[in-house]
Amino acid sequence: MAATTLLAPGTSAADSAEITVPEGSSAVIFMTGTNNEYVAAGEILILIKRADATFSVSGYRLLGEKGLTDATIPGPCVFKVRRRQQSSDATAAGCDQA
């Protein structure tokens, strides 16, 4: 099964669509770069949907350059990923789900 792009690599601020993970399943998400196996820099926040339908930043956070570049999100939950605005000289960072 091929990966699904949640956020295409870039440097501008962006949020993915909401992803639902059913009970008994999990979502493996990982950072991506542009035409490169190595993500040199960047940050992807993982936000979990709360009971009141708002999102909170979770303890999961993907960081390039010697940081955590993948995470497994257990269900049941709804989450989305967020890239904050990066500096103009930053490496483009995105996120896929396996």
The CATH number of 4-87 is 2.60.120
Per-residue pLDDT of 75-97, as tens digits, reads 999 999 999 888 777 778 889 99
The 10 Å Cβ neighbour count of residue 75 is 14
Q: What is the pLDDT of residues 32-76, one digit of tens each?
A: 888 766 666 678 899 999 999 999 988 777 777 666 778 999 999
Domain ranges across the chain: 4-87
Does the structure show a pLDDT above 90 at 5?
yes
Of 44, 46, 42, 45, nearest in space to 87 by CA? 42
